[in-house]
Amino acid sequence: MKILGIESSCDECSAAVVENGENILSNVIATQIPFHAAYKGVVPEIASRKHTEWIYDIVSRSLTEANLTARDIDGVAASSQPGLGGSLLVGFTFGKAFAYARQLPFIACDHMLSHLYAARLSGERPAYPFLGLLASGGHTIICKVDDFDKVSVLGTSIDDAIGEAFDKIAKHFGWAYPGGQYIDEAARQGDAAAFAFPLANLHKGDHRYDVSYSGLKTAVINQLEQFRKKGAAGEINGPDIAASFQKAAFEILLRALFNAVEDSGITTIVLGGGVVANSYLRASLAARTGLHCIFPEPSLCGDNGAMVAGIAYQYLSRGIRSPLDSTVCSRVKAFKRRYP
């Protein structure tokens, strides 16, 4: 079964064809970074406009690269939630129109569930249940996964998502956009012990799996000198700030994740979202013994159509279809909060 998947939830316009939920035949991704870089963040109006301009060509290219035509497609899927409303509508409407024109089944896919599925496209099939870590510019979620569509949220950010915190720090210091990628690269040249930034104290009770980045951002932006290594002299440099901030940001996240591992007894962790491409995070988890951590390939960490097409196959295999009068939602609706 060959599924066309469309992803347009934010600033990547992507379409892909995946066969039987695992074999990627094509995965075309067009980034809008150059159009948003001047603003150091995604401008929703620009994003939706670019999706409108690009969507036909991106879908056409995905079919061409898969050596297929529209007649060869067995089903269509598109991201429906969460994301920027205007951006979601472009890909979602195109997907519904394609399905209607070809009389094909259509699936509305949750963007976050798709990110959890992305690791499966890299060749691993983790047994359920496992813990999921979703880390991106818009979301930070630690969850228990009992099936591809059965997810219980254990913890999340009570303020900024981790990727958002990276972008805001980069914007404050005038670093390149996107901030996450720049900080990852700059931190390799810096001293992670140059600043001892504070960690949010959310490790007890109902917040044992939650994270917070507002305090860390305040420390880095407004109180930088207070947390400098004692006895340090000379000019403060960007790589040291980047390395120290990155270390603190992931310590906050990993502390909450390891709390979930300890309490649940589940040692398999599947990761998804653009932030999980970070080299420091990957190295930190690789160094932790007793865990089986499954990462998507770097090209599948960010938003992409392949993860949408992949998870859609699972729904279609169960005979599940989405009505053509369904629509998009900018917020997460599919996840329920539950503690182990």
Extents of the domains making up the chain: 2-117+301-337, 127-297
Q: What percent of the chain lies above the pLDDT cut of 70? A: 96
Q: Please give the order of strands across the beta sheet that includes 336-337.
A: 292-294, 268-272, 130-135, 140-147, 150-156, 336-337
User: Residue for token digits 């050596």?
Assistant: 67
| Crossing angle for the helix pair 279-286 and 179-187, to the nearest 10 degrees | 60
Could you tell me the pLDDT band of residue 339, with boundaries at 50, 70 and 90? very low
What is the DSSP annotation of 45-65? Answer: HHHHHHHHHHHHHHHHHHHHH
Amino acid at 21: G
pLDDT at 201: 76
Q: Which CATH architecture has domain 2-117+301-337?
A: 2-Layer Sandwich (3.30)
Contact, 80 vs 329, CB < 8 A?
Answer: yes
Q: Do domains 2-117+301-337 and 127-297 have the same CATH topology?
A: yes
Rg of the chain taking only CA atoms, in angstroms: 20
SS3 at position 71: helix
- CATH topology assigned to domain 127-297: Nucleotidyltransferase; domain 5 (3.30.420)
Q: Which two tokens stand for residue 169?
A: 């720090």
pLDDT at 264: 96
pLDDT at 116: 96
Contact, 82 vs 111, CB < 8 A?
Answer: yes
pLDDT at 205: 65
Contact, 117 vs 310, CB < 8 A?
Answer: yes
pLDDT at residue 233 is higher than 90: no
pLDDT at 222: 95
- Per-residue pLDDT tens over the stretch 243-280: 999 999 999 999 999 999 999 999 999 999 999 999 99
Q: Which of 85-99, 130-144, 229-243 has the lowest mean pLDDT?
A: 229-243
